[in-house]
Structure 1
Amino acid sequence: MKNNNFRLSGLAIALTAMSGMSGGANAALELYSTEGTDGAKTSFSVDGYFNTFYVNRDDKQNDLRTSDVKMGFLPNTIGFNFSKDVGDLTLGGRSSFWATINDSLNNPTDTAIDVRQFYATVDGDFGQVLIGKDFGLYSRSNIFLDEILLGFGSPGLNPNGVSFGNIRAGYEYPTPSAQITYRTPDLSGFKLAVGVLEPANTTGAAQSEESAPRLEAEATYSADLNGLNLTAWVNGLQQSSESATTEVDTTGVGYGVKASIAGLTLAASGFTSEGTNGILLVNGAFSDDNEADGFLVQGSYTLGANRLVLSYGETDAVDAGYLDTENTSIALFHDVNSNLKLVGEYNMYEGENAAGATAEEVDTIALGAVVLF
């Protein structure tokens, strides 16, 4: 069975869903397409995401107000997709390049660009195998199905840095990692992805042993129940890292459900983890005492070209910088057309330290525009 459509990236799927688009043709611009005499198709396409926000930040702890022009939660992105039918298989590939505009005065002509996706895929009746670098499976749907994904969200770790959406206020980040991942075909709405990923050195030692890869998986179920669109998921990770003096076992479980009927959408998700910092899994010094859990609840209503979102998330972390963080967001998205959005958002973020004292209290107004194709 041939699959003549390139595999949408997690980002492209999220953008498609959040922008009200349907079908891969609207998620990318096809630059080249040809069909051989045997019906085999070869195609090459490109997709892009551009956004800029005016951000007014009221730091109540430091009695400081700042104004910035910067990007939102998602960086500006351009992605290239390739697909070719070869016999009973479809070979594909994607590379995406993510650029910040937040460093415009620090690096006026030399902006930071990173590659979060660079992978190939093999599709067939058996499902799909992905090889290369992509977002992780743990916490994947938690973040990609966030109702304010195309907005600004919580302010992040410093005023000049990137915003965090609901990272550290409801979910952890699915760190882009080298991986080999298998995905099943769609089984009456049920899909399963299982992958082996590059493990992290979580002991902090110069020499550490990761004798097994990081294991991650995600199961999703989607259904249309007489007009009620339902999506549910559960995902997780497990890995171990050991040095001469320390052994750290890292685990994480994420879960959630999202339901939409008419213009109303309700969503709830959560996570629990050990051996991470409650934000993302990278090389660093952690311990089994690093524990975190959190949840995110959201509601949105779409009326015509407008979508109003109410969002509240919390993360409670032990021995990971903060004991308790929370973010409340009110956002309005207006579709000028299928490729242009206007966004207005108000966020209230608070963080307490281990002593229970307020360490951060920041209110943010973000007004922006998003262009995507």
Structure 2
Amino acid sequence: MKNNNFRKSGLAMAMVAAMGASAGANAAVEVYNEDGTTFSVDGYFNAFYVNRDDKIADTRNSDIKMGFLPNTIGFNFSKEVGDLTMGGRSSFWSTINDSLQSPTDTAIDVRQLYATVDGSFGQVLIGKDFGLYARNNIFLDEILMGFGSPGAATGVSFGNIRSGYPYPNPSAQITYRSPDMGGLKVAAGVLEPANTTPGPQSEQSAPRIEAELTYSADLSGVALTGWVNGRSQKSENATTSISSTGVGYGVRAAVAGLSVTASGFNSEGDIPVLITDANLTTEEDASGYLLQGSYTLGSNRFVLSYGETESDQADFETENSSVALFHDVNSNFKLVAEYNMFEQTVKSSGADAADADTIALGAIVTF
């Protein structure tokens, strides 16, 4: 029994999905492998030239930014102990977008810091990792390694976050993953709950519960993957009780070089960007979907993407369209060209809140 923590990490799943089978052979550099103990390092580096036409502000800006995925370096450990394999991963995610605001003090965050125990029973993960709710929705996004929609004021791009799916933000958790049961995999965990009712006697008496079920099969040469994931938590104070629930789902079909993916979500009692501590007073609804198609021809992958999200809680409606070309120079070097069109309106009034067209030209190096 041999564990490979990198392949089970969120970043690894994202890269394999976005890069195709070639990523598997170049997923990490093995530094040590003796007596049942392994240590490896993986990295992801990217930069994009970005030209954005902001129609609301009536401005056009050129920038050099990272893509939707930040620059990352990860360290992976495993050790066989009897019938068990103990593992661990720590990954550091860094922005290049603050080069003029913090010239020598680049922001670094740790999105993965966990240990794993693998055996015939499956795997138990303890620590910090991406959540299960909306996990496959984002990790199987065809433009994951691209740029996507405008995001925060810091210039971070959002991909299809809040225009097709919410973000499965990294959380402290204890999660179980089953072995592969004829294509069926089940994951369930308890995660740190969000305080959505700050105030007198605020409490979260139970953890946040998240789960995901994934099924993969090959039907006469058509590779099918389907998934359903969900989240449930409750927060209350002396006067208010907020139950936050969500269900995500999707299906992908691939044959030869063609791949078609459809996914969506429905939630209530949250703002469908990410779950976090926030003062909510009602349990209003949100929903969204993402439709994508890609075609791989030789070293080129062409992608069409369209997504929408609407939220009563956050009072917005969005739609996001992308056309992208990914070109593999080799198995570790990729070039990207993407054109993105993003619109957001205030749901209650119909007023325009955002309208931007973005050209992004990027380069990605992995090891």
TM-score norm. by structure 1 comes to 0.96
* 1:251-295 deviations in Å (ceiling 9; x for gaps): 000000011000000000000111111100000112333321000
**Counterpart position of 2:44:** 49
CA RMSD of aligned residues (A): 1.2
Q: Contact between 1:212 and 1:240, CA under 8 Å: does it hold in 2?
A: yes
- Which ranges of structure 2 fall in alignment gaps of 5 or more residues? none
Q: Contact between 2:137 and 2:250, CA under 8 Å: does it hold in 1?
A: yes
The CA distance in 2 between the partners of 1:239 and 1:6, in whole Å, is: 28
Q: 1:60 to 1:206 in 2, by over 3 A?
A: farther
**Counterpart position of 1:16:** 16
The CA distance in 2 between the partners of 1:350 and 1:109, in whole Å, is: 35
Is 1:352 aligned to 2:345, yes or no? yes
Q: Contact between 2:270 and 2:283, CA under 8 Å: does it hold in 1?
A: no
2:198 to 204, 207, 221: 204
**Counterpart position of 2:229:** 235
Q: How many residues align?
A: 365
The residue identity in structure 1 corresponding to 2:16 is T
The CA distance in 2 between the partners of 1:206 and 1:28, in whole Å, is: 49
2:364 to 358, 362, 370: 370
**Counterpart position of 1:38:** none
Please identify, of 264-273 and 279-288, the stretch whose mean Cα deviation from structure 2 is larger. Answer: 279-288
Structure 1 counterpart SS, 2:273: coil
- Which ranges of structure 1 fall in alignment gaps of 5 or more residues? 36-40
Is 1:327 aligned to 2:326, yes or no? no
Is 1:78 aligned to 2:73, yes or no? yes
Q: Contact between 1:345 and 1:365, CA under 8 Å: does it hold in 2?
A: yes
Distance apart, 1:26 and its partner CA: 2.3
* 1:213-239 deviations in Å (ceiling 9; x for gaps): 000000000112222111100000000
The residue identity in structure 2 corresponding to 1:251 is T
The CA distance in 2 between the partners of 1:278 and 1:6, in whole Å, is: 29
Q: How much identity, in percent, do the aligned residues show? A: 68
Structure 2 counterpart SS, 1:151: coil
Structure 2 counterpart SS, 1:286: coil
Distance apart, 1:25 and its partner CA: 4.6
Is 1:132 aligned to 2:127, yes or no? yes
Q: Contact between 1:119 and 1:132, CA under 8 Å: does it hold in 2?
A: yes
* 1:1-56 deviations in Å (ceiling 9; x for gaps): x2343352021122023212357552111000013xxxxx1100000000100000
The CA distance in 2 between the partners of 1:23 and 1:331, in whole Å, is: 19
Q: Contact between 2:6 and 2:28, CA under 8 Å: does it hold in 1?
A: no
Q: Contact between 1:183 and 1:193, CA under 8 Å: does it hold in 2?
A: yes
Structure 1 counterpart SS, 2:98: coil
Distance apart, 1:178 and its partner CA: 0.3
Q: Contact between 2:26 and 2:332, CA under 8 Å: does it hold in 1?
A: no
Is 1:31 aligned to 2:24, yes or no? no
The residue identity in structure 2 corresponding to 1:130 is L
TM-score norm. by structure 2 comes to 0.97
Q: Contact between 2:306 and 2:322, CA under 8 Å: does it hold in 1?
A: yes
Q: Contact between 2:328 and 2:334, CA under 8 Å: does it hold in 1?
A: yes
The CA distance in 1 between the partners of 2:22 and 2:356, in whole Å, is: 37
Distance apart, 1:180 and its partner CA: 0.2
Q: 1:216 to 1:155 in 2, by over 3 A?
A: same
The residue identity in structure 2 corresponding to 1:364 is T
The CA distance in 1 between the partners of 2:276 and 2:18, in whole Å, is: 28
**Counterpart position of 1:223:** 217
The CA distance in 2 between the partners of 1:236 and 1:363, in whole Å, is: 33
Q: Contact between 1:250 and 1:288, CA under 8 Å: does it hold in 2?
A: no
Q: Contact between 1:138 and 1:254, CA under 8 Å: does it hold in 2?
A: yes
